């Protein structure tokens, strides 16, 4: 017989159903570099976040925001800058405002890109500010990229943030392209999905 929990006995049917399903996996769980990041959970209703917690058990026990039918719980990884790896934010009107975290995996294409840009900087031949092409000047993404290039980051920070270079209200996934080569980062902030693996010629590219 289960132990009586007066708080749990007040749960709604929908709340019990979500608790029984267990903690969801972040859509970025299989993305290289994100595996060991801490997770946090968001309660959503009609696409709007109504509650967040670093623990699924804490979130599912919380009454904040209610548990009406249609309420969902999503999981995301937390980047070393303390924010979700995929984040919507406010920037000047000329860009969409979404950003994502890019970890520099040793030996990977991002590490090669950063090494090349640091070399060009040392020679006074940098192609432009930051790591991505067309980064918004003064934006959070630019500051993050400049700090990474200059090695001016806190311990345990393993990369930088890139910002979507497309206009506000654009269709399709968010996109940021590297200063050099054909490396590009693509993501869907609404679905919290990284799309880097899609081929350049795909319909979503």
Mean pLDDT along residues 179-200: 80
Mean pLDDT of the chain: 85
Residues with Cβ within 8 Å of residue 178, at least 6 apart in sequence? 113, 131, 132, 133, 184
How far apart, in whole angstroms, are the C-alpha atoms of residue 117 and residue 11? 54
Say if residues 43 and 51 touch (Cβ distance below 8 Å): yes
> How is residue 7 written in tokens?
């708080």
Distance CA 197, CA 170 (A): 21
Distance CA 148, CA 103 (A): 11
**Distance between CA atoms of residues 73 and 96, nearest Å:** 25
CA distance readout (Å), 98 to 17, 91, 125:
32, 8, 29
187 has which bridge partners?
Answer: 174, 194
Tens-digit pLDDT profile for residues 86-126? 887 655 556 688 899 999 999 999 999 999 999 999 999 99
Residue 1 has pLDDT above 90, yes or no: no
pLDDT, residue 6, reads 44
Write phi, then psi, for 80 (nearest 5 degrees): -60, -10
For residue 94, what pLDDT is reported? Answer: 62
Is residue 148 a contact partner of residue 159, using CB atoms and an 8 Å limit? yes
Q: Are 43 and 63 in contact (CB under 8 A)?
A: no
Instruction: List pLDDT tens digits, range 52-97.
Output: 899 999 999 998 888 988 899 999 899 999 888 988 765 555 668 8
């Amino acid at each position: 017989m289960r132990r009586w929990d007066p708080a749990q006995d007040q749960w709604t049917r929908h709340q019990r159903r979500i608790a029984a399903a267990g903690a969801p996996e972040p859509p970025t769980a299989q993305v290289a570099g994100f595996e060991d990041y801490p997770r946090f959970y968001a309660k959503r209703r009609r696409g709007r976040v109504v509650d967040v917690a670093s623990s699924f058990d804490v979130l599912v026990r919380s009454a904040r925001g209610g548990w009406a039918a249609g309420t969902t719980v999503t999981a995301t990884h937390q980047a070393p800058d303390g924010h979700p790896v995929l984040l919507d934010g406010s920037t000047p009107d000329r860009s969409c405002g979404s950003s994502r975290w890019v970890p520099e995996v040793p030996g990977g294409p991002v590490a090669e890109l950063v090494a090349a840009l640091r070399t060009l900087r040392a020679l006074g031949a940098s192609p432009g500010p930051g790591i991505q092409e067309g980064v918004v000047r003064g934006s959070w993404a630019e500051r993050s990229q400049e700090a990474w290039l200059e090695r001016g980051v806190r311990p345990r920070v393993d990369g930088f943030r890139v910002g979507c270079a497309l206009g506000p209200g654009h269709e399709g996934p968010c996109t940021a392209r590297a200063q050099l080569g054909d490396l590009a980062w693509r993501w869907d902030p609404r679905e919290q999905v990284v799309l880097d693996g899609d081929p350049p010629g795909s319909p979503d590219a």
